[in-house]
Amino acid sequence: MFTTHLRTRLAEIDASIAEHRLALEMLERDRATVAAELSSKATFPVLTLPVEITTAIFTLCLPTFEELHVNNVRRRDDSATPPTLTAPNVLVECCRAWRDIAVATPSLWTTLPLCLKDAEFGDTNAALSVSRRRADEYIDRWLGRAGLQPLTFVFCLVQENLDYDYDTDLNTAAHCMRSAIRRYADRLQELDFKTTASYLDIEFMDLDRIHFPLLQRAVLANNDPDRRSPDVCAVFGNAPRLCEVGLYRKTWPSSFTFPWPQLTKYEGPISHFSLFSLAPNLVEIKGIMWEVYEDMTTVVHAHLQSLTLSGPAVRIDRVLSKLTLPALLSLCISKSIYPGTLASCLERSAPPLQTLSLTPFQPGSDGMEFDMGPWKPMFASVAATLENLELHSPSHQFLSAVLHFMAKDDPSSLPCLKTLDVFNSPMVNYEQLIAFLHRRTTSTKLARLQSLRLAYRPGVLLGEDTELDPRYFVAGRRRWRLNATDHMRRLASEGMDIHIGSEKTTLVSLDKRATFDAQPEEYDNADE
């Protein structure tokens, strides 16, 4: 009796299984039919774009020379982590259609970033043996897609095993890079070369004997930071168009003999003051001060238009005390310096300075009352031409004094100023800021301020009075009862670009589309 029940139950389960199996087969047939119909009718918009548009998008994905240079800078002697896969490599791995378009676009292959270390190509994410033949094939295959366009090389040789002075694989890699430079020298327009190998020197590349008819920019890194004259390496003696030279940090210019007279831009350490004499046609310098200068004579550089200096403040101060720059248009100083030295340099040079960026020395930053007096001669020396002022990390006292000073109808209060940027700013007095903005937008003796940017330092927030507490503001016989945001919104509606916030978070950002709803209240007595 009991076994009969079990057999009946088993038969029911088998019937249910057969029923569900039949249903599953029907669903699978229906799914296959729908999938086939979808495949025949579905479209992928990104694949229907004209090839010209896809090519243009691919070109915008390419990293810039500066971004690749930063990648090279980050490769240290003890760390050679390959960079993230970028265009065009990432494009050819997406799908066949994109690969075909990318391979057929020469402009995507004109820049070759290559890091060779021990026994692999660091930038290709492929464990390929660095044999001479394999490396040459890889380089030729990449550059063969570039057609006949000018080329950019960003090369890095990394010695991972620091216990040995000689590495066979790395020596082979060095020969591969030198061979590539020789083979494509007639098309090379930009070159960034760095080596961390303790035994390999830039001189090994023999860059002075190679003819570079198109080369315009070169960046080098000497593996030995202690190298000095007389062991000087001559480079680019046959590069008639070379005009921009850069050196990595702690790679001294005294280690090389460049064609200095033809250079217009230099970026890197300044290890000797003679740089300003050796390169009389420089238009732009971005220098890092590393040396303490002892016997310096005053140097007049007639063509320099842009100067950026970083490094110890005492060395920057000493250099400025010896420079005369009559053509200077832009000056950027990253360290806090004394106003007296800067004022003397500007008075002596009498340049048509348009942009000034500085970190002010602030004796009042410890809570004492700030004295604007030492800064007035500096501002007065550039008042006739200065249009853009950047202040970095000013104290509350300094910023307050500057806003008060520049709100006056005074010939020395920067009457031509059009933009004011304050980075790592302290909390500002908004009532004073509004008074400053009103004066700089209504005075007939001062140029109209076009842009104001306050980037607060971490931890600084907008005060409650910015949005909540009404503030009276008197102009002539009219008096507005508005908060600070309303005042700035009115100025934004009149065309001023205003940004207030932190470097990561925008707290107030107003543009020309901002509206101004409040109406002025009329008073018979302006003093009321």
- 181-211 per-position pLDDT tens digit: 999 999 999 999 887 765 566 777 888 889 9
- What confidence tier does 123 reach under pLDDT thresholds 50, 70, 90? very low
H helical segments located in 42-77: 51-60, 65-73
Q: Is the pLDDT of residue 268 over 80?
A: yes
What's the whole-number mean pLDDT along residues 316-344? 88
Considering only 83-97, 121-135, 278-292, 433-447, which range has the smallest mean pLDDT?
A: 121-135
Residue 21 in tokens: 């199996």
Omega within 30 of 0 (cis) for the link into 352: no
Q: What is the pLDDT of residues 280-319, one digit of tens each?
A: 999 999 988 876 555 567 889 999 999 999 888 888 888 8
Rg (CA), the chain: 33
pLDDT (0 to 100) of residue 384 = 92
Closest C-alpha among 364, 367, 366, 426 to residue 391: 426
Q: Is the pLDDT of residue 503 over 50?
A: yes
pLDDT (0 to 100) of residue 93 = 84
Q: What is the pLDDT of residues 32-41, one digit of tens each?
A: 999 888 877 7
- Three-state DSSP state, 177: helix
CA atoms within 13 A on the CB side of 441: 21
Report the alpha-carbon distance of residue 305 to residue 328 in Å, rounded.
4
Mean pLDDT computed over every residue of the chain: 77
Considering only 67-81, 302-316, 393-407, which range has the smallest mean pLDDT?
A: 67-81
Report the alpha-carbon distance of residue 426 to residue 460 in Å, rounded.
7
Q: Regarding predicted confidence, which is higher, 515 or 413?
A: 413
* pTM, rounded to two decimals: 0.76
pLDDT (0 to 100) of residue 416 = 93
Say if residues 176 and 116 touch (Cβ distance below 8 Å).
yes
